[in-house]
Copies of this chain bind each other. A is one copy, B any other.
Amino acid sequence: MDWAVVIAGGSGSRFWPLSSPTRPKQLLPLAGSRTTAQETLDRLQGLIPPSRTLVVTNAQLAPMMIAHLQLDPANVLIEPRSASTGPALIWATAEILKRDPSAAVLALHADWAIGDQAAFAATAETALFAARNHDRLVTVGIVPSRPETGYGYIVPGPPLGADARAVARFTEKPDAATALELIADGALWNSGLFAWTAPRLLAEVRAHTPEVAPHLIHLAEGNVAEFFASVTSITIDVGVLERSQAVAVVPGHFDWDDIGTWEALARVRSRDADGNVVVGPVTVFESRDCITWSDGTPVVVSGMRDAIVIAANDRVLVLNRSAAADLKRTLAALPPEVRDIS
The chain A residues found within 8 Å of chain B, CB to CB, are 17, 281, 283, 285-286, 294, 297-305, 307, 309, 311, 314-320, 322-323, 326-327, 330, 333-335, 337-338
Contacts and interface: CB of A to CB of B under 8 A. Distances in A.
B320 A304 contact: yes
B286 A334 contact: no
Nearest to A314: B297
Nearest to A16: B300
A303 B323 contact: yes
Contacts of A311: 311, 316
| Copy count, this protein chain | 2
Contact of A315 (B298, B314, B319, B333): B298
A27 B230 CA distance: 63
A304 B333 CA distance: 17
Given A309-B316, A334-B283, A335-B283, A326 B302 contact: yes
Given A283-B335, A285-B330, A307-B307, A302 B314 contact: no
A337 B300 CA distance: 13
Nearest to A285: B330
Contacts of A330: 285, 300, 302
Contacts of A285: 323, 330, 333
A79 to B, nearest CB: 31
Contact of A303 (B298, B316, B322, B333): B322
A319 B307 CA distance: 10
Contact of A338 (B298, B303, B317, B320): B298
A318 B304 contact: yes
